[in-house]
């Protein structure tokens, strides 16, 4: 049974608040919902120029004694010459492009961390009997939205999509939307204040309005049965649907179609034969038009069908063992830098991955935008998607668990329609302790309930004893696939250390080397073979392949990483200049020598068991 988080959330949060001792009833954390495949629906885009005002002191919400104001900036009032004094007026404020982080749009906003107010006027023809949802691709990190001065929802989490019902707040002609997005890093956040990537703030992915009928398809899962290669199974949920209502699913080009009946919980179970279905794979990324209908609502999807499972230490795609030749990718925009969000960004990044000979990509360390997932579906690149439980979140804090669970729910329920996604990663490099293992194993249980069709993994730290790498993190028992990060030859030892390194893995499960690599400044060649030269990075990869080929249960790798990405931890001037330089490609698209080394290894299948 799928847990529908929006029903649990306010209750759980109240419990959490009571548990934490502050007896006040917590304000509902968010009344947003999650729409599967929303990008496949007709929508009115709100992308473009929005007026924007930075508000470092929260003046737009709090008065000088820190009480919430009733006349906050969400009213979008205007200063009239000769009129009463005001501290803001969106109409005369400069604009920011949406989508887009604010940091790379104005030099004075580069290092800004705090609340940013956005405002945009819009027209909307409201049709009777319909509902209008404001759909936000991502708002980093905490956000609140008002329509015509009325709060419509709030959200926490910088990398997952959400939708807010704004029907009651709309007016027949001119409307205005105000958003407050606060990218302040928080110790009780997910991720916390500590990351190795730049905290790009703002409405960083697309914003649109979606019209649906009173009863509409909000979530669905259609996948190939693991037991029968011509059977598609799953479910469709209709929000506002009544038991007995009908749902139909048809798969273009196959003649396959079925009709199913909603149960009292609004779910219709789907099972349908699709003889002669071409399975989706990297070699043949076949996508079918899929029409899902319920009453007057419909979603026209584009879906691939495949199975992914583990058998002993093998990963089986469509029943056959596969080796995942991959690369790790941050959502950093090539050339312009900043948070990636567009089709062009996705095509450039995954285009480089294809040139490398990849059939796999680890989208680190947070859910990427749907343009990236659509491109992966089309190009045939298998995807590791990751919930940003990164490094040391507050594992003993129930409210933090609820945030991590909610982001996992939003990630899975938004993107379960992508054949390319095969792995849900629960975390990256978290410290080994009981609270953490309970926290993340609970998330793994939740993920399996939400989606039993994919594999669960996490990127684990490994212990080093002399020249032996030991993989015995207790979290491994809860994973289907063991991800491991190691930097032998970079943070540990030199190239000769790599050659002497052996591995001991406590689990009889498939292993993916989810990170290895080293930095290089593109164009740096001296001192010869020294750290940060292209030659050293290239040699490191060659030595790594020698070590990796000795791990019998290695079933994939995603070296760190495809492209240089911005990080405030990397401030070595002249070499890093606030970029992590472990990319195989510079942020300006310059391929380093190691790119060709990895490409040769992948295209010749010199790494990994040749499949
Ligand atoms: C870590 C971490 C990455 C980081 C990388 C590095 O393994 O997972 O997020 O960028 O190492 O140090 O470059």
Q: Is the bond preceding 191 in cis, omega lying within 30 degrees of 0? A: yes
In a domain, 10, yes or no: no
- Whether residue 338 contacts residue 200, with contact meaning beta carbons closer than 8 Å, is answered with yes
Whether residues 409 and 423 fall in one domain? yes
Domain final position from 281, 305, 329: 305
pLDDT of residue 23: 33
How does pLDDT run across 261-303, given as a tens digit for each residue?
999 999 999 999 999 999 999 999 999 999 999 999 999 999 9
Query: How many domains would you assign to the chain?
Result: 3
* CA pair distance 564, 581, nearest whole angstrom: 5
* CA pair distance 300, 289, nearest whole angstrom: 7
**Tokens describing residue 502:** 């052996």
- Average pLDDT over the chain reads 94
Closest residue (by CA) to atom 9 of ligand 1? 196
Atom of ligand 1 nearest to the CA of 582: 13
In a domain, 8, yes or no: no
Phi, psi of 328 (to 5 degrees): -85, 145
Whether residues 168 and 261 fall in one domain? no
Distance (Å) from CA 216 to ligand 1 centroid: 42
**Tokens describing residue 200:** 């790009």
Closest residue (by CA) to atom 4 of ligand 1? 196
Domain that holds residue 290: 216-305
Whether residues 487 and 376 fall in one domain? yes
In 33-173, where do the E strands start and end? 44-45, 48-54, 95-98, 115-123, 130-136, 142-147, 150-156, 162-165
- pLDDT tops 70 at residue 517: yes
- pLDDT tops 60 at residue 311: yes
pLDDT of residue 48: 98
**Tokens describing residue 434:** 């009981």
Pairing assessment for the beta strands 48-54 and 115-123 based on DSSP bridges: antiparallel
Distance of CA 175 to the CA centre of its chain: 31
CATH number at residue 271: 2.60.40.10
**Tokens describing residue 344:** 């062009």
pLDDT of residue 110: 98
* CA pair distance 9, 409, nearest whole angstrom: 11
**Residue in 582, 536, 592 with CA at minimum distance from that of residue 559:** 582
Domain final position from 305, 320, 338: 305
* CA pair distance 356, 416, nearest whole angstrom: 27
pLDDT of residue 473: 98
Torsion of CA 583, 586, 592, 598, to 10 degrees: 40
Whether residues 411 and 548 fall in one domain? yes
CATH number at residue 582: 3.20.20.80
Phi, psi of 84 (to 5 degrees): -60, 155
**Tokens describing residue 522:** 């593109």
In 148-287, where do the E strands start and end? 150-156, 162-165, 174-182, 207-213, 216-224, 231-239, 246-251, 256-261, 267-273
pLDDT of residue 30: 57
Whether residues 93 and 66 fall in one domain? yes
pLDDT of residue 12: 44
Q: SS3 for 533?
A: coil
Which residues lie across from 224 on neighbouring strands? Answer: 232
- Angle, alpha carbons 190-195-196 (nearest 5°): 150
Tokens 């940060």 locate to 532
Distances (CA, A) of 511 to 390, 402, 450, 551, 557: 20, 29, 24, 9, 9
* CA pair distance 376, 390, nearest whole angstrom: 24
* CA pair distance 583, 566, nearest whole angstrom: 11
Site to substitute for ligand 1 among 393, 461, 517, 560, most atoms within 8 A of C-beta: 560
- Whether residue 180 contacts residue 169, with contact meaning beta carbons closer than 8 Å, is answered with no
In a domain, 552, yes or no: yes
- pLDDT tops 50 at residue 236: yes
How does pLDDT run across 381-409, given as a tens digit for each residue?
999 999 999 999 999 999 999 999 999 99
* CA pair distance 611, 598, nearest whole angstrom: 17
Whether residues 188 and 266 fall in one domain? no
Ligand 1 proximity of 239 Cβ (cutoff 6 Å): no
Domain final position from 166, 193, 213: 213
Phi, psi of 474 (to 5 degrees): -60, -20
Which residues lie across from 607 on neighbouring strands? Answer: none
Whether residues 273 and 348 fall in one domain? no
How does pLDDT run across 369-386, given as a tens digit for each residue?
999 999 999 999 999 999
* CA pair distance 331, 413, nearest whole angstrom: 20
**Tokens describing residue 235:** 């479910």
Phi, psi of 234 (to 5 degrees): 150, -150
Ligand 1 proximity of 196 Cβ (cutoff 6 Å): yes
How does pLDDT run across 72-114, given as a tens digit for each residue?
999 999 999 999 999 999 999 999 999 999 999 999 999 999 9
Phi, psi of 538 (to 5 degrees): -65, -45
Ligand 1 proximity of 564 Cβ (cutoff 6 Å): no
- pLDDT tops 80 at residue 14: no
Site to substitute for ligand 1 among 558, 563, 578, 580, most atoms within 8 A of C-beta: 580
**Residue in 515, 491, 521 with CA at minimum distance from that of residue 581:** 521
- Whether residue 447 contacts residue 426, with contact meaning beta carbons closer than 8 Å, is answered with yes
Distance (Å) from CA 305 to ligand 1 centroid: 33
Ligand 1 proximity of 386 Cβ (cutoff 6 Å): no
Atom of ligand 1 nearest to the CA of 491: 12
């Amino acid at each position: 049974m799928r847990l529908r988080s929006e029903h649990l959330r306010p209750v759980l949060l109240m419990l959490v608040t009571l548990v934490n001792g502050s007896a006040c009833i917590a304000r509902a954390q968010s009344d947003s919902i999650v729409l599967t495949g929303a990008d496949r629906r007709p929508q009115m885009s709100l992308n473009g120029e929005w007026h924007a005002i930075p508000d470092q002191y929260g003046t737009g919400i709090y008065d000088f004694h820190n009480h919430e104001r009733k006349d906050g900036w969400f009213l979008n009032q205007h200063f009239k010459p000769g009129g009463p004094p005001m501290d803001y007026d969106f109409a005369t404020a400069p604009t920011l492009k949406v989508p887009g982080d604010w940091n790379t749009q104005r030099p004075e906003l580069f290092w800004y961390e705090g609340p940013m107010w956005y405002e945009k006027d819009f027209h909307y023809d409201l049709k009777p009997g319909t509902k209008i949802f404001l759909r936000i691709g991502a708002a980093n990190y905490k956000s609140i939205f008002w329509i015509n001065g009325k709060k419509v929802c709030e959200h926490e989490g910088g990398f997952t999509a959400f939708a807010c019902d704004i029907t009651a707040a709309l007016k027949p002609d001119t409307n205005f939307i105000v958003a407050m997005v606060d990218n302040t890093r928080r110790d009780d956040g997910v991720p916390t204040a500590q990351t190795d990537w730049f905290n790009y703030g703002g409405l960083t992915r697309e914003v649109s309005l979606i019209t649906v009928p009173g009863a509409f398809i909000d979530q669905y899962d259609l996948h190939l049965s693991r037991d029968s290669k011509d059977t598609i199974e799953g479910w469709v949920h209709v929000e506002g649907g009544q038991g007995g209502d009908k749902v139909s699913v048809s798969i273009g080009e196959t003649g396959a179609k079925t009709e199913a009946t909603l149960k009292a919980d609004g779910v219709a179970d789907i099972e349908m034969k699709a003889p002669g279905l071409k399975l989706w794979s990297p070699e043949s990324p076949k996508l079918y038009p899929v029409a899902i209908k319920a009453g007057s609502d419909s979603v026209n999807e584009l879906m691939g069908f495949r199975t992914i499972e583990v058998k002993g230490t093998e990963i089986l795609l469509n029943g056959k063992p596969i080796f995942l030749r991959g690369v790790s990718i941050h959502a950093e925009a090539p050339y312009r830098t900043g948070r990636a969000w567009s089709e062009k960004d996705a095509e450039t990044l995954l285009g480089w991955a294809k040139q490398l000979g990849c059939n796999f990509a680890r989208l680190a360390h947070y859910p990427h935008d749907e343009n990236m997932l659509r491109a992966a579906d089309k190009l045939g690149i298998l995807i590791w998607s990751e919930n940003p439980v990164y490094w040391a979140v507050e594992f003993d804090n129930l409210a933090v668990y609820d945030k991590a669970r909610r982001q996992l729910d939003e990630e899975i329920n938004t993107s379960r329609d992508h054949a390319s996604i095969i792995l849900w990663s629960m975390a990256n490099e978290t410290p080994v302790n009981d609270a953490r293992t309970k926290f993340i194993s609970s998330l793994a249980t939740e993920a399996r309930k939400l989606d039993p069709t994919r594999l669960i993994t996490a990127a684990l730290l490994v212990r080093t004893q002399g020249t032996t790498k030991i993989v015995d993190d207790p979290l491994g028992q809860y994973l289907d696939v063991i991800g491991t990060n190691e930097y032998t030859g970079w943070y540990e030892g030199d190239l000769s250390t790599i050659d002497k390194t052996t591995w001991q893995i406590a689990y009889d499960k498939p292993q993916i080397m989810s990170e290895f690599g080293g930095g290089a400044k593109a164009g740096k060649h001296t001192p010869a073979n020294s750290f940060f030269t292209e030659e050293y990075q290239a040699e490191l990869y060659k030595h790594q392949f020698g070590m990796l080929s000795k791990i019998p249960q290695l079933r994939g790798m995603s070296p760190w990483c495809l492209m240089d990405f911005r990080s405030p931890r990397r401030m070595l001037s002249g070499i890093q200049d606030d970029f992590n330089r472990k990319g195989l490609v510079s942020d300006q698209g310059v391929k380093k020598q190691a790119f060709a080394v990895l490409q040769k290894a992948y295209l010749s299948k010199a790494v990994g068991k040749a499949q």
